[in-house]
Amino acid sequence: MLIREWSSCDELLHVVRDNRVDAIVVPLGADGLEATEILRAVDTNRMELPPIIANFTTAPVSVDQAKQLTTAFSCVRLFFGVLGVTEMVAALDEFRRGELQARDYLVHTLVPEIDRQLGSLLIPAIVIGCRRSSTADLSKASGIHERTIRNRLKSAGLPGPTELLGLITGCRIAFDTNVNQLSISLSATRSGFATGDELRDFLKTRTGLPPSFWKRTGLNGSIALLRERLNWNDKISAVTESG
């Protein structure tokens, strides 16, 4: 994998035109302010960008950048934590195998709608919720204590973290079974479950709805249900960062 540094739009264009470049890595947060602005200045009608790996942090400015980049570019992939070469290679391998399609779709559909005050919690939930995950996983990804996660969601009138993650997993199943035409069993495997029965137990416990419901409802209907359960329009900006 070739990783190149860049500090201007012209340098970025030169880097991208080098067909050995596998991805562009962008730190979000204070360290990524200039990089984000340079990327947003690129005329994507003139050229196709490789995958943009954006290393998300929970700072409000990082939420703003994630919203801006996912609105402007379809090739953005959000990741968390330290991104060494090993992690980036693994991420690109997942992308090439098509394992990030559902996650990318949900990120680009939902992240631009999120209010910045909840973004530090909901953006990590969307990213990790496309695979089997728990409140502890969400706490690790967001850097927010489990109790604070529950309090923030409750004060916003939103479902608890287990239901939230279950709803996102349900949308992932809807994507796999309707867009990619996968079986529920294969979608379960790609989502981190050993069997379809394990996925069924997970979704029934957290959402009250089995995998067959999400498949039957379809992708648009499933996302509509997610928005309804989250009171997307009424509650999405009701919480404050005070926790």
Sequence ranges of the domains in the chain: 1-97, 99-243
Share of the chain above pLDDT 90, in %: 37
pLDDT score of 7: 65
| Average pLDDT score over the chain | 82
The DSSP bridge partners found for residue 54 are: 26, 78
Name the nearest CA neighbour of 164 among 231, 239, 243: 231
Which residue has better confidence, 56 or 172? Answer: 172
pLDDT in tens, 167-221: 999 999 999 999 999 999 999 998 999 999 999 999 999 999 999 999 999 999 9
pLDDT score of 161: 96
Which residue has better confidence, 97 or 21? Answer: 21
Rounded to 5 degrees, φ, ψ at 56 are: -80, 140
Highest mean pLDDT among 24-33, 107-116, 144-153: 144-153
- What is the average pLDDT across 228-238? 62
pLDDT score of 102: 86
Q: Which residues of 136-169 are buried (b: 16+ CB within 10 A; e: fewer)?
A: ebbbbbbebeeeebeebbeebebbebbbbbbbbb
Whole-model pTM over 0.75: yes
The CATH class of the 1-97 domain is: alpha beta
pLDDT in tens, 73-125: 887 878 765 556 676 666 667 666 655 688 888 988 988 888 778 888 999 99
Angle in degrees, 0-180, between the axes of helices 101-110 and 211-229, rounded to the nearest 10: 20
Domain 99-243: CATH architecture, name and number where available = Orthogonal Bundle (1.10)
